[in-house]
Amino acid sequence: MRMLVTLEFADAGAKSGQHRVLIIGRNGSAVAHGDMGLSLDDAQTLLGAIQDEFVEAQAAEIVELARTCPRCGGRLGIKDWVLRRVHTLFGRVLLPSPRLLSCGCDGSGRRAVSPLKGWLARCSNELSYQAAKWGSAHSYRQAAAILHELLAVHRSFGYVAVRDAVLRAGVRLDSEPISLAFDGGYARRIRKGRPRNFEILTGAVQRRGNIRVFATAYAGRAVLPDQLRRFITRTNIPVNARVALMTDGAGSLMRLKQMLPIRTRFVLDYFHVAMKLRHIDQCIGRILPRRLSPGGSVFELYDRFAFLRAYLWTGRRDKLERSIDQLIGLLECVERGWPADERSARMAIFHVCDLSAYLRQNATGVVDYQSWKRRGWRISLQHCARYVVVGIQHSAGHAQEPDL
């Protein structure tokens, strides 16, 4: 089977009409079990070919518009062509760019003008954006490799170009804090004989995608500061680095801050916050829409909750307390007025109060999770804990998964 790909452009100046792009095909003999669909190579070839045509058509439209003199309506002639190279997400495009001879109808001399000036760039915005995005979450070399392997970005758009894109985007101006995540757990050994339970402390450091883990049985508390110091030394964290200490805020974990030999900033793990929000959401979802305050919308309760969630997500600590009070006020209104929803309202109030107490205790750890997430920074220690658990199971063999 062979696939013939033909494109058709409208309003694309000289490029309007149909264009045979390429043929993708397999010989019948090459069909193997599971050999279905396009390969990465096929897809890259296809996208690259379409990109060539697409960029050319965009250019043709711009050139076509520029070839009419805005004064007399005369058609401008082409002086010469220059070949331009443009990096895009789907390969490098070689684009012939014309220079037009300006019309002499206004009395001035005729000169060469480039109609694509102002549009044409060395690198497409989409590629700059993706390079900045991947380059801020990985090393520049890794980001370049991803762009080359998966998207067929031309090899000459290397890690230096990725770095430039990152710097241009300003993503790295505010550099990613090193995240140091700790979580407590409880492991039960079920090997034959006397069962032994022990508390464990797990930790992980993530720096530019590299993760180092730490785990210790909690029993030897006296040696903990020493163990932590050795762990931090092993991770080579620079003395003046910005380090985010991520925990679920449990009191015993907070004591780690004092034990650590480096300065840290406490960040409340978003996963735990999100779990508490989900409990509230589930209770509120069972309550029917009703007008709860004069002039209010029947969706006021859900809207209030949506605001609360948004304030938390964006780290608006100043708005949280009032928002929680308002939500509780509405829920109390439901609890008093509608017996059918009394139970759900009461449960919801319980969970809101739980969240409120949790946030008050850990207020300094609430950050603007939204912008952290946008920058590709870690906002939860979930995955760190997973790595540690896998490591423990691997080495202990018989330990059950700790209740993290």
- List residues binding Zn ion (CB under 5 A): 69, 71-72, 74, 103, 105
Give the residue with the Cβ less far from Zn ion, 28 or 107.
Answer: 107
Q: 98 vs 63, 66, 80, 92, 232, CA distance in Å?
A: 8, 11, 6, 19, 60
Give the residue with the Cβ less far from Zn ion, 48 or 98.
Answer: 98
CB 17 within 8 A of CB 8: yes
Smallest distance from Zn ion to CB 100, Å: 12
Give the residue with the Cβ less far from Zn ion, 69 or 254.
Answer: 69
Give the residue with the Cβ less far from Zn ion, 103 or 123.
Answer: 103
For residues 350 and 354, what is the distance between their CA atoms, to the nearest angstrom?
Answer: 6
DSSP assigned state of 103: P
Phi/psi of residue 244, nearest 5 degrees: -95, 120
Give the residue with the Cβ less far from Zn ion, 71 or 394.
Answer: 71
CB 189 within 8 A of CB 166: no
Smallest distance from Zn ion to CB 72, Å: 3
Residue identified by tokens 């080359």 is: 148
Q: For the chain, what is the total number of helices (H) and then of strands (E)?
A: 13, 10
Smallest distance from Zn ion to CB 67, Å: 11
State the distance between the two ends of the chain, measured CA to CA, in whole angstroms.
53
Smallest distance from Zn ion to CB 112, Å: 15
Q: What is the DSSP string of 19-49?
A: EEEEEEE--GGG--TT--S--HHHHHHHHHH
CB 6 within 8 A of CB 19: yes
Give the residue with the Cβ less far from Zn ion, 75 or 208.
Answer: 75
DSSP assigned state of 398: S
Smallest distance from Zn ion to CB 15, Å: 25
Smallest distance from Zn ion to CB 79, Å: 16
CB 345 within 8 A of CB 332: yes
Smallest distance from Zn ion to CB 101, Å: 11
Give the residue with the Cβ less far from Zn ion, 73 or 209.
Answer: 73
For residues 144 and 153, what is the distance between their CA atoms, to the nearest angstrom?
Answer: 8
Give the residue with the Cβ less far from Zn ion, 65 or 310.
Answer: 65
Smallest distance from Zn ion to CB 131, Å: 42
Give the residue with the Cβ less far from Zn ion, 94 or 105.
Answer: 105
Phi/psi of residue 29, nearest 5 degrees: -70, -25
Distance of CA 18 to the CA centre of its chain: 39
285, HSE (Cβ side, Cα atoms, 13 Å): 6
For residues 401 and 404, what is the distance between their CA atoms, to the nearest angstrom?
Answer: 8
Smallest distance from Zn ion to CB 106, Å: 7
